[in-house]
A = this chain, B = another copy of it.
Amino acid sequence: MKIDPDSSKDLSAQIAAAIRDAIISGKLPVDERLPSETELSEQFEVSRSTVREALKRLAAQSLIRTQRGATGGAFVNRLRFEDAYGQQITTSTLLLSMNSVSFRTACEARYALERACAPLAAERRTADHLATMRAEAHRQAQPGLTDEAFCASDVAFHRALVDAAANPVLSYQLAGAVEAMQPLMNMITFSARDRATIIDLHTQIANALDQHDAETADALLVQLSDYTQSLAESVFAARAAQKADVT
């Protein structure tokens, strides 16, 4: 094991890449212990600090975990869906904010993906999922709820919908899309009438899933999507007008 010292990349990046490839290819199975930092530094012929930087890179991606002590070391981490959610959400949120993705685009993606879940959710939803969805709808109806709390509950409702599809791959992929929308949703002010409309649709969606009625659920999601889009547009239009007044 030797590393090209003339490459354009850092040594620690190259070493991280080498170990990452070994993990992805399956050469290093889950829970396998890597050689100690000292051993790795000998194998790659670099200093221990360089090896450590490489290991930190891998740890940041949850590819390894480390443990101190006599029997400690770095171990290949079983990447769990729950662990990946956080990273997925962070990345999605940053992607949206840093690339100034429009509300329209993000909303379109989110509802397109949710509609993909609806038929499966209608088939497989458990009493638990329905209870969660209805509890969130109820929470959304409480007076005195801040816009942020309303949005947070909205996210919880939609996550329950996605989870009802009982497909971990879908849940993982959609966690990013749904949660990353929250900052954008928070830019909207919801009037009492707006909220009532949304809560009504939420309740109807829960009912449709209860009845295993995929078509109705899908139609309701389309309504919700359209309503959200129009709401956002009117809010942004109002703001633009206000800005024009000031100028």
List residues of A whose CB falls within 8 A of some B CB: 12-13, 16, 20, 23-24, 26, 30, 49, 52-54, 56-61, 63, 78-81, 84, 87-88, 90-99, 101, 105-106, 108-110, 112-113, 115-117, 119-120, 165, 167-170, 172-174, 176-177
Q: Which residues of B contact A61 (CB under 8 A)?
A: 60-61, 87, 90-91
Q: Which residues of B contact A98 (CB under 8 A)?
A: 30, 78-79
13 contacts across the A-B interface (CB closer than 8 A): A24-B90, A24-B94, A49-B49, A57-B60, A61-B90, A61-B91, A87-B91, A99-B168, A108-B167, A108-B170, A113-B113, A113-B170, A173-B176
CB distance from A169 to the nearest CB of B (A): 4
Chain B residue at minimum C-beta to C-beta distance from A177:
B173
Contact B116 A16 (CB under 8 A): no
Contact A80 B99 (CB under 8 A): yes
Q: Which residues of B contact A168 (CB under 8 A)?
A: 99, 101, 105
Given A60-B58, A87-B61; A169-B106 close (CB under 8 Å): yes
CA distance A14 to B206 in the complex (A): 41
Known: A112-B120, A113-B173, A169-B177. 4 other contacts (CB 8 A): A24-B94, A81-B99, A92-B172, A108-B120
CA distance A30 to B26 in the complex (A): 36
Q: Which of B84, B108, B115, B116 contacts A91 (CB 8 A)?
A: B84
CA distance A88 to B172 in the complex (A): 11
Q: Which of B56, B90, B101, B115 contacts A169 (CB 8 A)?
A: B101
CB distance from A133 to the nearest CB of B (A): 19
CB distance from A221 to the nearest CB of B (A): 11
Contact A79 B95 (CB under 8 A): yes
Given A12-B56, A99-B168; A23-B115 close (CB under 8 Å): no
CA distance A30 to B173 in the complex (A): 26
CB distance from A143 to the nearest CB of B (A): 30
CB distance from A104 to the nearest CB of B (A): 10
Q: Which residues of B contact A113 (CB under 8 A)?
A: 113, 116, 170, 173
CA distance A120 to B20 in the complex (A): 36
Q: Which residues of B contact A117 (CB under 8 A)?
A: 112
Chain B residue at minimum C-beta to C-beta distance from A57:
B60
Q: Which residues of B contact A60 (CB under 8 A)?
A: 16, 56-58, 60-61
